[in-house]
Each structure stands twice: as structure tokens, then as C-alpha cells.
Chain A
Amino acid sequence: MIPLVRLSGITKSLQGNQILTGVDLTVHSGEAIAVLGRSGSGKSTLLSLIGLFDRPDGGSYLLGERNITRLPERRAAALRSAEFGFVFQRFFLLKHLTAAQNVAMALVNGQGWLPRRKRRAKVMAALDRVGIAHLAKHRPPRLSGGEQQRVAIARALVREPRMLLADEPTGALDTETGNLVIDVLHEATKEGCGLVLVTHDWEHANRMDRVLRLSEGQLGEAR
């Protein structure tokens, strides 16, 4: 079986500091991986490399069989749109848009065009998938933290990505709400989506298929 994502010997330095010194990581379809590590260990940097926010200094990055280590910006944007879904610690919902419009943001990004009706159907399906279709017309200030994060997850799922990247998605939530959010993310992997979850929470990490620890710029098994 061809892995979804294969990182080999990835290195990255930021402002003169060597953050990643040779990271190897393979993620298969439907696999959920947790990445633990101290603050500043490079977890978010690793996630931003996987998500094509940035390019590695060295090593290689294969998406399926395709080498995407050094993609031009425009093609990277197209891949981000088509293949990846992102969930952040802060939900990054736009206050002036409704929940549905926030989700639709991932569809109205210049990467292809969907007629309004199809767009609406996809948005509602994504909101339904995270259990908040009834809140479609609500604006973020009227939603709880957990609801807002679920809107953010719906935004990540609306394009049906092959890979979900979550950067401490429960960091701003209480334990109970955090568990609900992890449930929703985990649910997505059952449909074949790969998941890389960066977290400080052992309990959440233990629910993943594999738990890795990033330390001294290297990734190792933690469980």
C-alpha cells in the first residue's frame, strides 16, 4: 500500500536555529498520528511543512508517489486546497461571516468554482458531519468554543481532503469539549482521511493509532 505522506530526512531551520534535523514520517490513509513535544520543539514547524505552508531546507516530501518537496507557491496553494484540511488551536473564524460562510471559505478560494447550490450542499454536509448543521446561520460570536472549533473542522473537511492537520485543536477548550472535538477528528479517519494531531494532551494522543514525540529536531516513537 502506497503511503499517503512520506517525509524523509526533513531538515528545517528558522532564523538560524535548526528546528528539524532529519525527520522521517510516514502517514497512511485512515491513520491517525499524534505528535507530542515540548513547546518550541518544532511540532508546528513540522505541521507547516506537511501542510505546504513552508518548504523544507533538506530531505524529501512525497505525497502519494509525487515529490512535492519544492513546489511553486501557486501549485502548493492548489494542493493545500485539494489535499489538506487544517484545524488550528485558535479557530480563526471570521466574525462577520456565518458558520456556513466560514465553511464555504475553503470552497471560494479560486481553486475551481462550484455553483452556489452545490456549494451550499457541500457546506451543509460538512456542518452535518460535525453535528452543527442547525447552527449554519449563526455567526461565531454566538457560538460556544466547541461549536466554533467544529465549524473550523467542517471548514477543514468540506473539500474532502486526504489529510487532516490539527495544531493543538483542543488547546482552547475544556476537557469535555476537547474530547468531542477529538471524536469528530477521529471519525474523519474512518473514512480514509489521514490525521496528524499536534497536542500536549496525553489522553488525546493515546486515542490515536500512533504516538510520536518530537525532540531535538528528531521524531521518535513515544508509545
Chain B
Amino acid sequence: MIRLKGRLRSALIIGLQGIRARKLRTLLSIMSLFLGVLAVVVVQAASETARRAALGETELTMGKDGTLQMYVPTEGKALETALDTVKDRPDVVATTDMSAIIGEPKVTPINRGGMPFAAVAEGQGGPRLTRPDGGEFICGPRGCYPIGQKESSLPETPGQAIELRLSAMTGDVRQFKPFRQQSGQWLDFASAASLAPRIVLNKEAAKFFGTYAVPAEMRISGATANMTPQILGVVDDGIGEPRAYVRMDELQNWLPAEQLRQGGTGLQLLMEPHATDVMQILKTRLAASGLEFAQQLRAEPVDSRERVADQLALIRWVFLGMAGLVLLIGVAGILNVGLATVGERVEEFALRRAVGTSRSLLAGIVLAETLLTGLLTAGAAIGTGMLALNYVGRYLGKVHPVLATTEFPWQAGVAGVVAGLIAGLLGGLIPALRAARIPIATVMRA
């Protein structure tokens, strides 16, 4: 160990001396290697940034990686049983979706069927429908009309309403889906339930409310009466259709469980990875209620990371391959400089062997020089990458919000150091072998 330490230190000291003695050559080596290492750093940084951005988007809709999700049909008393099981469990949230219309009563919604804002604004209308006689028609904000007829030629329907999906939840779903607050505030699950349901819109729904003035009256099929919702804020949930979020208990004030069962899409349970006991309890209770599907219920983990990794892997490898090629050119440069340097230092190496330096240490000295050069290059490339990414985050983030939170990923730093070391190793290997083969008698014949 002590011997190895001595050899390592000797190689480093002599390597540093060599670098200091040949500053221009070191600079040339660094320059030839810089672009290659920078390419690796940039590809790694870009792919990591893209991965984070994609992961962020995926988590909004799919949920955080590792979250357990389970779907419970609303057969029999399953809904009530499930809601009772997850009650007071902060690590489990049950959600269900249904259609809701906000606006004037008895008017056709502007976006019938819950169309996105862009489709309405561009006059694309809703889904194409076919009459029994075979004629196709399309529905838009002003009603339904045959394909080919201009919507503007239709008489305007008096009154306006917006159709959206309403997600009712038993707890704060953001622990599983990290919605980004855009304005206002999120639902408060700690306070008492309000009779006027508090809702939070998603960005797509907010576009409608920003464009159309609609009265605050919410219709849900099967509700005991139309509700007056309070809009608390807007979130980015990554979903391209208008949607609103509401507390389950506030909705249940107006929507009996029977109607919730009929109008909802079933119950989705989102659970922390450790909350598997809930699943067992629920299955047992459902089985005790005589529901046959109970034993078939499964909790599936959300695999956001894997999904994103699969999407980006190919692109990443293609770009890494290109960066590798640029790095190889840099390696050729460092190899060239290394060979020339060894040629010039024949006497020095022979002398070092004469004073007791072994062949392997001599090779180690040359490798130490190229590895140190590789590390210096990596430092320069990482520094440049950090500065560039800082610029991207600061200036381009204003134009592209996804870039606003861009940070230099540590993976890019590691990739840069590894690339620098590999380049140093490859570029220094042949010169090192040549140095080790220099005959010691060179000093005698000189």
C-alpha cells in the first residue's frame, strides 16, 4: 500500500512537473480535447434536462415514480366502502372524475363534450357525428351543423356555458401529482367543507374562463341542485382538456353516493409506496361485502422514470455517439501531442530509469500527464457547460418556461470527468508504452 502510494505520488508529482514544463503543448492538448469533452457534457446536460422536463410532465399526469395506483369499480357498495377505508389516511387519496357544466343553465356548452380551447377557438367543432340517414354533422359552441356548412352562419345560441371534467378527491393529490400552481391557491383540505364547492381550474379550463364570461352555476348530472362554485385558483396539471378539481366531501353535499356511482368513472386510489395495508384492508372489506372482483384488485406502481427513460434513451445514445466521435478526434489530438512529447523526452525517460524509476512507473508518469490534461479539459468543459446552462435558464427560460428551472445536472459533471479521464487514458496509452520501452542505455550512448 505504502509502495503504491509512493508510486502514485511520484507519478503525480512528475506528471505535474511535465505539464508545467510544457504549458503550450498542454494547452494544445486541452484545445484538441475540449470540444469532445464539451460535447459529452452538453449531451449529458441536455438529456438530463430533457429527462427532468419530461419526467415533470409525466409526473403531472401519471403521478410520481413509485406511487401505487388502484382502480376500484363502483359496483354495489364498493364506492362507499373504499371512501370509508381511505378516510383519515393522509398517505392515500381517492379520486373520481365526472362531467360538469359551468355557466348558464339549459344552454349548450361552448365546448360540448369538454373540447379543448384551441379546438373551439379554431372552429374545429367537437366530434364528428353521423345521423341515421348517413349525413355527418359536427357540434360547436353555437350548436350542431352539417359538415361543410360554416358555423358562423348559424344563429347564435343565447347564453354560454363551459363543459369540463371535474375531479373530486378525498385529499391533496399533489403529493402524488405535483401540479404547478399558476395563480390563486390550491384546495384546503384542513378546513370544514363548504356548501359552495371550491374548485381549482387547470390551465386549459382557465382559458375558457378568461375568454368567456359565464355565471358561476355548476351542473352535474344527478346532483340535488345546481351548485355555485368558488374558483380558488389555477394549476398546471399537464392535461390538455378543461378540468377542475374539487374536494370530494364538498361535492358529496350535492351529489348522493348513488349518483356519484352512476356519473363517475370509478374510483382511482393513489397511495404512497408503503401504504399497501390499505389495499389489503379494502380487499378484505369488499370481499366481506360479497363483491367478487375484490380479489382481482391490484395496485400497480407508477413507472414514470422508466417510461421517460425509454422515450429518451434512443435519442440520448444517438447524440452520445456523435459526442463520442468528436471526443475521438480530441483523443487523436492528445495522442499526437503525446507521441511528439515522448520523442523529445527520450533522454529524460532514460535518465529516470537510470536513477531507479521502473518501466511501469515511467508509463504511469506519461499517463498521469495525459490524465491530468484530461481532467483539466473536463474542468474547462464543465465550467463552460455550467455557464451556458446558466445563460439558458436565465434568458431562454423567459421564452420557454420549461427551461426556467434549468440547472447544471451533476450527471453532466460526472460524464465530463469520465470523458476527460477516458480521453486522457486513450490518448496517453500509446505514448506511455513507448516511454516504458525506451532503453536505459540511451544515457550511456548519448
**Residues of B1-19 contacting chain A, CB below 8 A:** 2-3, 5-7, 9-11, 13-14, 17
Tell me whether A106 and B444 are in contact (CB under 8 A): no
A71 CB–B CB distance under 8 Å: no
List 6 A-B residue pairs with CB atoms under 8 Å apart, sorted by A's residue number: A77-B356, A80-B356, A88-B443, A92-B348, A105-B352, A113-B5
B360 CB–A CB distance under 8 Å: yes
With contacts A48-B444, A96-B21, A108-B13 known, is A113 near B356, CB below 8 A?
Answer: no
Closest residue of chain A to B13 (Cβ to Cβ) is: A108
Tell me whether B6 and A113 are in contact (CB under 8 A): yes
With contacts A96-B21, A113-B2 known, is A54 near B358, CB below 8 A?
Answer: no
Tell me whether B441 and A54 are in contact (CB under 8 A): yes
Determine how close the nearest CB of chain A comes to the CB of B255; give it in whole angstroms.
80
With contacts A53-B440, A92-B443 known, is A110 near B6, CB below 8 A?
Answer: yes
B357 CB–A CB distance under 8 Å: yes
Residues of A within 8 A of B347 (CB): 92
Q: Please give the number of chain B residues whose Cβ is less than 8 angstroms from any Cβ of chain A in the complex.
A: 33
Determine how close the nearest CB of chain B comes to the CB of A55; give it in whole angstroms.
11
Closest residue of chain B to A51 (Cβ to Cβ) is: B354
Tell me whether B441 and A86 are in contact (CB under 8 A): no
B288 CB–A CB distance under 8 Å: no
Tell me whether B355 and A86 are in contact (CB under 8 A): yes
Determine how close the nearest CB of chain B comes to the CB of A187; give it in whole angstroms.
21
The B contact surface, by secondary structure, is helix
With contacts A88-B443, A88-B444, A108-B10 known, is A96 near B357, CB below 8 A?
Answer: no
Contact of B20 among A48, A74, A96, A106 (CB under 8 A): A96
**Residues of A58-81 contacting chain B, CB below 8 A:** 73-74, 77-78, 80-81
Residues of A within 8 A of B355 (CB): 80-81, 86, 105-106, 109, 155
With contacts A109-B352, A113-B10 known, is A88 near B446, CB below 8 A?
Answer: yes
In the bound complex, what is the Cα–Cα distance between A73 and B359 (angstroms)? 8
**A-B contacts besides A77-B358, A97-B21, 16 pairs, CB < 8 Å:** A44-B444, A44-B445, A47-B444, A74-B358, A78-B358, A81-B355, A92-B347, A92-B348, A105-B355, A106-B356, A108-B14, A110-B6, A110-B10, A113-B9, A155-B355, A159-B356
Residues of B within 8 A of A86 (CB): 354-355, 443
Determine how close the nearest CB of chain A comes to the CB of B392; give it in whole angstroms.
42
With contacts A77-B358, A86-B354, A109-B361 known, is A94 near B348, CB below 8 A?
Answer: yes
